Amino acid sequence: MRLSQSKFLVIYFLMLILTTYSYSQKNNKAQLELKKVQIKKEIKLINELLFSNKKKKKAVYNDIENLSFKIQRKEELVKLTNQQINLLDSEINQNSEIKNNLETNLLEVKTTYREIVLKSYKMKSGKSRLMFLLASESFFQAYKRIQYIKQFALFRKNQAIKISKLIVEIDELNKQLSSQKNKKEELLRNNRSVQKSLEKEKKQSGALVYDLRKKEKRYINQITQKQKAALQIDKEIERLIREAIAKSNREKNKPKSFTLTPEALELSKNFSLNKGKLPWPVIRGVVIQKFGTQPHPVVKTAKIKSNGIIIATANNEKVRAVFDGVVLSVLQFKGSNPTILIQHGKYITAYKNLSKVYVEKGDKVFSNQNIGEVFTNNSTGKSTIQFSIFQNTTPINPLIWIIKM
């Protein structure tokens, strides 16, 4: 009896651990599934925004760049699916161990129960029980024997309940194991399908890279020229912000930050409170270049620096202000497309590579208001916008500020 009870304690302790572990696993699975959904959306957008316009004659350089974005996301999708499979394997092992322990315990409980039933059968007549009581040497012993008969009956009843519970728990675990194994098979099939398309795209990219090597110097020169043009715009943006800061500080000695009116201070505070909640500057889009210094997606030997993010979007897509503010400037250099700067207190948002501009310097704008249209490159068919955020003159990572896709 003691052995059976100790076995039960061990099993229910294991099940308690499993419940806590399962809760943690469910959270991990939910997070992985959410990331997968996000990446699948990105891959769909990449296909729609970068690969749908087949009529355009695209350069080798542009083809590799587009493929590299898709390959990166598919590799991430495979990685996340593998993590899901590993979590399922862990759950299956845990559940199998619990199931084995439950089945062992069920066997022991059934054996004990058979012994109890046999003893009960021998003692089933009222005469046997009466003789058992009358054979007591004292009133105290008779009392003890009555208590024993009651406990024996109660123990028999409890053993029957335990058997029923164990059978239900084993059935439930069998269902879970079956569901988990089916889910694992489904994930493996999906992963094989993604890996197959991934291998095809890598081969395609590899062939294009081989052709690219013949013209690598020319492409490096193109990247350098683009970086110079971007730097020129960045310097002009910094100059304009410094000029605005100086204007707000004519009578004060604070050259590095804005002196704000109470209204602008409130606007700045509200902008800060919306960190991670700001809308995207376009309705549909996928980030194809992140903030900061990074290797070029095609020519890996080249480094590129960006004080914002580049978003690929649909042709003629409207560009929206991400928050209430005032247009600080609309600037354009020879050979480049317009850029709009909007001030939100001590924060500035920049919208580069526009084809049309709907606002002028000094205009008040509101969150989600259309301020222009994205420029589409006729030779590649690609429509992109570079979006930046500055705190005074310091560029900060926009991905931390806008809503996650």
On the 0-12 / 13-18 / 19+ scale of CB atoms within 10 A, 2 is exposed
Rounded to 5°, the CA angle 244-250-252 comes to 115
Q: Residue 291's pLDDT is what? A: 92
Q: Residue 95's pLDDT is what? A: 75
Name the 3-class secondary structure at 277: coil
Q: Residue 350's pLDDT is what? A: 95
- In whole angstroms, how far apart are CA 250 and each of 75, 78, 134, 316, 385? 54, 57, 111, 41, 34
Q: Count Cα neighbours of 234 within 13 Å in the Cβ-side half-sphere.
A: 17
DSSP secondary structure letters along 316-371: TPEEE-SSSEEEEEEE--TTS--EEEEEETTEEEEEESEEEE---TT-EE-TT-EE
**Amino acid sitting at position 14:** L
How far apart, in whole angstroms, are the C-alpha atoms of residue 216 and residue 212? 6
Q: Residue 15's pLDDT is what? A: 57
Q: Residue 139's pLDDT is what? A: 64
Q: What 8-state DSSP symbol labels residue 253?
A: S
CB atoms inside a 10 Å sphere around CB 39: 21
Name the 3-class secondary structure at 282: coil
Residue 292 has φ and ψ, to the nearest 5°, of 100, -170
| Dihedral-angle region of residue 316 (phi above 0 means left; psi in -120 to 50 means alpha; beta otherwise) | left
- Decide the pairing of beta strands 309-313 and 286-289: antiparallel
Biggest CA pair distance of the chain? 116
Per residue in 352-383, is it b (16+ CB within 10 Å) or e — as a string?
A: bbbbebebeeeeebeeebebbbbbbeeebbbb
* pLDDT tens across the length of the chain (405 residues): 444 555 555 555 555 555 555 556 667 777 878 887 877 787 777 777 777 655 554 555 567 777 787 888 888 888 888 888 888 888 788 777 777 777 777 777 677 666 766 665 555 544 455 555 555 566 666 666 566 666 656 666 666 677 677 777 777 877 877 887 888 888 888 888 888 888 888 887 777 777 666 666 777 777 777 788 888 888 888 888 888 888 877 755 656 788 888 888 999 999 999 999 999 999 989 888 889 888 777 666 778 888 999 999 988 899 999 999 999 999 987 778 999 999 999 999 999 999 999 999 999 999 999 999 999 888 778 899 999 999 999 999 999 999 876
378 alpha-carbon distance from chain centroid: 34
In degrees to the nearest 10, what's the CA dihedral of 119, 120, 126, 127? -10
**Amino acid sitting at position 297:** P
Domains in the chain, start-ordered, CATH in brackets? 2-212 (no CATH), 216-400 (2.70.70.10)
pTM, rounded to two decimals: 0.65
